[in-house]
Every structure is written in C-alpha cells, then in structure tokens.
Amino acid sequence: MKKEQIKIQPKQTFPLTIKRLGINGEGVGYFKKQVVFVPGALPGEEVVVEATKIHPKYAEARIKKIRIRSPHRIKPLCPVYAQCGGCQLQHLQYDQQLKEKRDIVIQALERHTKLDVSKLDIRETIGMENPWGYRNKSSFQVREKDGKILAGLYGLNSHQLINIDQCAVQHAQTNEATTQVKKILEDLNIPIYHEKTRKGLVRTIVTRVGMQTGELQIVLITSKKELPKKDLIIQEIQKRLPNVKSIVQNINGEKTSLIFGEETHSLAGREFIQEVLGDLQFELSARTFFQLNPVQTVKLYNEVKQAAGLTGVEKVVDAYCGVGTIGLWLADKAGEVRGMDVIPESIEDAKKNAKRHGFTNTKYVPGKAEEILPKWVKKGWKPDVIVVDPPRTGLDHRLLQTILQVEAKKLIYVSCNPSTLAKDIQTLSKKYDVTYIQPVDMFPQTSHVECCALLIKK
C-alpha cells in the first residue's frame, strides 16, 4: 500500500531551504515534496516558516526566522517596502536580481516547453546603471484621514491605502508633483472621494514626466465633472510646479478598480507632454500608453532592431503596435512597416507619429492582427519580419495560428511575461527555432522581466 503524502497544516511551523525565486519574486522551497512559496525569502537561505494558506498543489508561508542568510540580502531602501507590495526584490542586491531574472526565464522554458533549455542561448539580463527613480508615471489613489490627504497604493493583498511620500522607483519629479498636488487639494479643501459612501470628488492623482524634456503632466481623476475652485487649483499647480505643461481632468464615476474613465477634459496648457526616445519624439496625452522606463526602453528597442537585422528592403509587421514606437524604431532600415492595434486612438497617434518623423513607408490600421494579416497575405503582401509585443496574457491563439500559416522568415517576440512567452514558443516551435533570448530589466526592484526573443523559420 502506498503511504499517503503528509499534508502541510495551516499555521504549521517547519524548516525550509529556499531553492529559487518564483515568478512573483517569492522564495520557493520544498517540504516533504510539497511546493512552498515564501515572500521575502531568497535562494540559498535556510528559514523557519509558518504556513499561511494551503492550496491543493502548493502552500504559502511567511518567514518566522532566517537561520542562514543569503550573502546577497540587503536592507530595502524604501521605508514602506514590506507593506506596499509594489516592489518585490528591494531586499536583494541588484546584480543578483539580474541573475535571478534570467533564471526565472529559464524556469519558464523548462516548465512550459519541450526544448532542451541547456542548449538555448539565454543571455545575461541587461540591467540599469542606476536602478532607482526610473518610472516616468505614477497613479496614486487618494484618501482623506483626519483632515490630511494621503496618496499612495493599496497594500499587499489588502484594501489599506499605504501613503507614499517618496517612492524610490518613481522619477523625483513625479514624487514632487504628487506631493504638491496633495498640498493644494488640502489647502483648498477639495472633497476627496470616499469609496464606501461614494461621496467626495478626487479619486486619483496621476503624474507623468517626459524624462528627456522635463515636461510634467498632471491628471486629476474625479468622480464627477464639476470641479470646485477649478481656477484656483490650476493657478496653484502652475505656480508650485513650473514644469507642468499639461493639466487634465478625467471623469470616472464608476464603481471600478480601473483608474481612467471614458471622459477627459484639458484644464490648462496642452493636451500632451513631449517625450524623446532615441531620435524619435512622442506626444503623450493623458491616456496614451507609453513605456514606464524610457532608459531601458531604448535598450530593449535596440535589441529588437539588432534581432531584425534589416537591410532596407524588408516588409515588417508590428502587431500590437500601440502608438507605433517599435515600428518607427525600425522604419529607417525597413522597406515597409505595417502595424495594427485594437485601440483606434493608438492608431491615430501612430499615424501622426510616423508623419511627424517624415516616414512614408508606414501603414497603420485599427483591428486584430489575426484578422488583418491573412487579408494582406491574400493580396500578395507577405511580411519578412513579424514583431509582436503582446500583453501579459501572451499571443492570441488565432494569431499564433496565423503566424504559423504566414511563415515570415523572422519572428521577434517582445515579452513581459516569461510563462506566456514559453508557452507561445512551444506552439511556434513547429515551424520556428529559437536563436536566442535576451532578458532586459525594465522594472528593477520588482520581479518583472522583459525579453526579446529571436525566432527563425526552420
């Protein structure tokens, strides 16, 4: 008779050796052959943990004591690091973060593909010279407590608002802007939205900075259109933050966790701020998606360009093109770039961006790549290179099938989620070989890792 496996009990305390980091930056160990996830534990550490949640296939636990510390463990820079949950790896030395991120990519490939991962060229993670203060945008929820206005993020697995005065990964100008806007709302007694009663007005303060231009944008997200003392608010923002070039109001009266509502009004200045990436200039309006770390974006896009190896004649498809950033990065070396995206406003922006930079070899259409691409091929326009930069969920199943049918010579896959990258590579391996995978650290101090993978048709 087979012995029943001993199950971990809730609140059970036991020793654990941490083997690796999980996809969310938590330590992973095995107790009696059961997987245990421990936030804050690092590979190589021996810890005593207490089980907090038991799932059918794994358990979660918290550290009670560290018996043997990792030599790479450091003191987190941020005072609210433990409560906030926005970063997961501040307690790990930066050079080691880069090694662990490469390992997270390897683990995903081992778990989700049948490839011999030891034979794959998985490169060292490209990091930042200064891995702090890199985020160009912050969206902080607002609350009122004892007459003071708090702004920050909801705590880890809770609905407690953690007030953040100086976020260590935010650009200094966005921190300063949020602080000043908080003071202005306080000084002018502007009513703050209350989630339970749904009374009050201001829900969220969004700030964005053009890192190369220094231009600031402030977006006040309110539950109603009427904004009391509007002119005074504008005056004070302009007085206290001279770099502000755009003040915008967005209205979101819905009971939702989404930040932006559908209605946006310009209050003062332009509707956008300018940002520069390499030789390209972009206008960022309040709801425009733009990479949050421009310094690393340039490195990532240069990796895409290198992988594409264009000679001036190739037909390139930029699926999920957004405002056209990747395609425009390649356009000077391509024969023609065609992009598509499901958001019509992004397509309009992409067309404007192409025109502003004088590119005549680009074409942008709204819609889904899996519907548009086959039509182009039918009309005799077949791409040589396809670039995809999908959301965390990975490539749409129909787009995967389309790519396999179209058979472009090269596929460049830009990924923000190693698990879905690996699953998609497995599907594509019917017709494509992985030449190499280059991890890029877009979000230092967090468990996120981006990759640029080059796949060549067999």
Q: Which sequence positions are flagged as catalytic?
A: 416
Q: How far is residue 101's CA from residue 108's CA, in Å, rounded to a whole number?
A: 11
Please enumerate in sequence order all residues whose Cβ is within 8 A of that of 65, keeping only pairs 6 or more positions apart, or say none.
Answer: 47, 48
Q: Quote the CA–CA distance of 418 and 438 in Å, as a whole number.
A: 11
Distance CA 129, CA 110 (A): 30
Distance of CA 100 to the CA centre of its chain: 18
Residue with tokens 């997200």: 221
What is the rounded distance in angstroms from the CA atom of residue 194 to the CA atom of residue 223? 10
H or E element, residue 104: helix 94-112
The number of angstroms, rounded, from the C-alpha of 385 to the middle of its chain's C-alpha atoms is 25
CA angle 388, 389, 394 (to 5 degrees): 95
CA distance 425 to 453: 9
**Pairing outcome for strands 27-31 and 34-38:** antiparallel
- Rounded CA gap, 273 and 405, in Å? 41
Q: Which two tokens stand for residue 76?
A: 């987190």
